[in-house]
Amino acid sequence: MSGPLAGLNILDFSTLLPGPFATMMLADLGADVLHIEAPNKADVVKDLQPQLESGVSASYAYLQRGKKKQVIDLKSAEGLQQIDELLLEYDIIIEQFRPGIMAKFGLDYDTLHARFPQLIYCSITGYGQTGPLATHAGHDINYLALSGVANSLRRAGERPVASGMQLADIAGGSLHAIIALLAAVIERGTTGFGQHIDISMLDAALALHPLFGPMQLATNETLEPEAAELNGGSFYDYYETKDGRYVAVGTLEIKFQQRLAEVLAIPDWFDVAMPLKKQRVAEAIRAKDFAAWQVILAHEPELCITPVLTFLEAVHQPHAQARGVLAQTQLVSPLRFTKK
């Protein structure tokens, strides 16, 4: 593999989504990732539909791209010997077991650090290595619920949205793990020593409140849905078109609002209260169908209005195609580098 992370050697003990997504990105960047797979252990992602001719799901093939694979039974003496030999070459571990599981195999950080002081060991868990919930099972929806994110993803008087995008798993687990791991690599280059990285998806999901979190901590008051400018309390929102599709209006700055008022033919825009602003935007958007708005918005760079697309529409839209986001049937890495 070539890339900016060439030379990093990673043993990946993770399954499902957070760890595999992190190691996929690291492999995309040139790291040598060896995925350790347990024999006869089910991986939900591998069994998803649709299945490819290779016998795994499309999602699994995507998450495991660029990695080597080795089946090792950690419950056997032979398997542990194999890991021992691999640790002579691979000096970074990413694991996603609940606290205490790796210790049962003698593969916990404290045990391995005594023999491999340069080892960087990243543990991704739902609730972290400490605390009353540390050994509890959980998934993305649970971390979103406990972090307050789910409550932020709802309308007033309605239940939270069951999102098809795993925010806590990816933005919380995968991306925070990558940042911390690369920081540890930089420090190891100076000190020669590795360290244990404790990534809690709940902790990281809590950190996904950079604007409204500090506001609520400062006032000690809960911000209710549709009570602020960015959570549905203003015209910054989604609006239905004539044929039941939606567009997103993110027109915040005054210069963009001026153009919005012109395009939507609202001459008294700056003279009316927010509820009436929102009502008039809704009426104007509803006057045209989705296709008509797509044509209009394609030629309006100062509006901050975009159509709400399905995933397949999104990857095939002209801008995405121009950016080359697809290679055959897979998304390519969004991280791009220019060398001169």
**Tens digit of pLDDT for each residue in 242-283?**
999 999 999 999 999 999 999 999 999 999 999 999 999 999
Look at the domain 237-308 and name its fold: formyl-coa transferase, domain 3 (3.30.1540)
Q: What is the pLDDT of residue 183?
A: 98
Average pLDDT on 74-80 reads 96
Average pLDDT on 109-115 reads 97
Of the residues 113, 139, 196, 209, only one is catalytic, namely 139
pLDDT band at 328 (very low <50, low <70, confident <90, very high): confident
Percent of the chain with pLDDT over 90: 95
Rounded Cα distance between 238 and 223, Å, is: 20
Query: Coil, strand or helix: which one is 336?
Result: coil
- Indicate the range of 39-48, 70-79, 196-205, 218-227 predicted with least confidence: 39-48
Of the residues 32, 108, 169, 237, only one is catalytic, namely 169
Q: Find out whether the peptide bond into 50 is cis, omega within 30 degrees of 0.
A: yes
Q: CATH 3.90.78.10: does it fit domain 9-206?
A: no
Average pLDDT on 212-233 reads 95
Percent of the chain with pLDDT over 70: 100
Does pTM surpass 0.85?
A: yes
Average pLDDT on 311-326 reads 95
285 neighbors 239 (Cβ within 8 angstroms): yes
Average pLDDT on 146-166 reads 94
Q: What is the pLDDT of residue 231?
A: 94
For residue 139, indicate whether it is catalytic: yes
For residue 140, indicate whether it is catalytic: no
Report residue 57: phi and psi, to 5°: -75, 160
Per domain, the residue ranges of the chain are: 9-206, 237-308
Q: Is the pLDDT of residue 108 over 70?
A: yes
- List strand residue ranges (DSSP E) for 149-227, in order: 196-200
